[in-house]
Amino acid sequence: MIPVNPNEGEVLGAKSYPCLEDIPEPIDVVDIFRRSEEVPPVIDSAIAIRAKAVWLQLGVVSPQSCESARSAGLLAVEDLCLLVEHKRRRSQLAL
């Protein structure tokens, strides 16, 4: 996990970057914990850095931005909690 927060230099003990473009390594998933109206520029940045996926957390939706992400070749998920889905799918595999 690499936190991105323009107002903090550190989050939960990890170095935080002001924006996605400042992260010096490839990013697989951009997990977005922002209000829906704040999503479009984050997805634009995810596309610019060539992330593999964007994940909008529970209650966060941006259909037009997600369509832009998909058109750019990214996986885009809206309105789902990554942790909940991970646990659910992991339990399905255990069956």
Per residue in 6-15, pLDDT tens?
A: 888 888 889 9
pLDDT top residue among 7 and 22 = 22
| CA dihedral angle for residue 84, residue 88, residue 93, residue 95, rounded to 10 degrees | 150
Query: At 57, which amino acid appears?
Result: Q
Question: Which of 88, 45, 30, 39 is closest to 60 using CA atoms?
Answer: 39
Residue 95 has pLDDT above 70, yes or no: no
Question: Residue 46 is encoded by which pair of tokens?
Answer: 């995810």
Share of the chain above pLDDT 70, in %: 99
Residue 94 has pLDDT above 80, yes or no: no
Assigned superfamily of 27-94: NAD(P)-binding Rossmann-like Domain (3.40.50.720)
